[in-house]
Amino acid sequence: MRQMSARWAKVVLAVGGLITTTATLAETTTQASQKAASADTVRFFMNNQVTKKYEAKQSDRALAESMPLGTFIINAYYPPRAAKAEKRSNYITPQTTYVTPTPRARVVFPAPVTTAVRRRHTCDQYSPSILQEKASIYDPIIQSASRTYGVNPNLVKAVITAETCFRPRAVSPKGAKGLMQLMPATARRFGVTQRGDAWQNVHGGTLYLRWLLNRYRGSVPHAVAAYNSGEGTVDRYGVHVPYRETQNYTRQVLNAYKKLANPQAYYAKQQQAVNQQRAWRTPQSAQGQVYNGANQTLSCRMASRRLYQTTDVVNSQHLRAFYYTAAQGETIYNVAWQTGTDAAQIRAFNRLGNAPLREGMRIKVAQCQF
Task: Give the tens place of pLDDT for each residue, 115-159.
Answer: 444 456 789 989 899 999 999 999 999 999 999 999 999 999 999
* Known active-site residue 163: yes
Q: For the segment 185-221, what is each residue's pLDDT rounded down to a tens digit?
A: 999 999 999 999 999 999 999 999 999 999 999 999 9
Please report the DSSP string for 109-176 in residue order: EPPPPP-PPPPPP-GGGS-HHHHHHHHGGGHHHHHHHHHHHT--HHHHHHHHHHHTSS-TT-B-TTS-
The highest-level CATH class for domain 283-369 is alpha beta
Distance CA 147, CA 202 (A): 12
Could you state, in order of their start, the residue ranges of all structural domains in the chain? Answer: 2-58+69-76+91-109, 123-261, 283-369
The CA-based dihedral angle spanning residues 114, 118, 120, 124, taken in that order and rounded to the nearest 10 degrees: 130
Mean pLDDT of 80-92: 46
| Structure-model confidence comparison of residues 4 and 345, the more confident one | 345
* DSSP-derived secondary structure letter, 183: -
Asked if residues 222 and 206 have their Cβ atoms less than 8 Å apart, the reply is: no
pLDDT band at 250 (very low <50, low <70, confident <90, very high): very high
Q: Is the pLDDT of residue 289 over 60?
A: no
Q: For the segment 170-179, what is each residue's pLDDT rounded down to a tens digit?
A: 999 989 999 9
The one-letter amino acid at 191: G
Q: For the segment 61-73, what is each residue's pLDDT rounded down to a tens digit?
A: 665 555 555 444 4
- Set 27, 163, 231, 359: catalytic member: 163
Residues 6+ apart with CB under 8 A from 346: 332, 335, 336, 352, 363, 364, 365
Distance CA 282, CA 345 (A): 6
**CATH hierarchy code of domain 123-261:** 1.10.530.10
Q: How far apart are the first and last CA of the chain?
A: 151
Length of the chain: 370
Asked if residues 183 and 175 have their Cβ atoms less than 8 Å apart, the reply is: yes
Residue 303, CB-side half-sphere exposure with 13 Å CA sphere: 24
The one-letter amino acid at 283: P
Entry pTM: 0.48
Domains 123-261 and 283-369 share a fold: no
187, containing H or E segment: helix 184-189
Q: Is the pLDDT of residue 96 over 60?
A: no
Q: Is the pLDDT of residue 237 over 60?
A: yes
Distance CA 36, CA 30 (A): 10
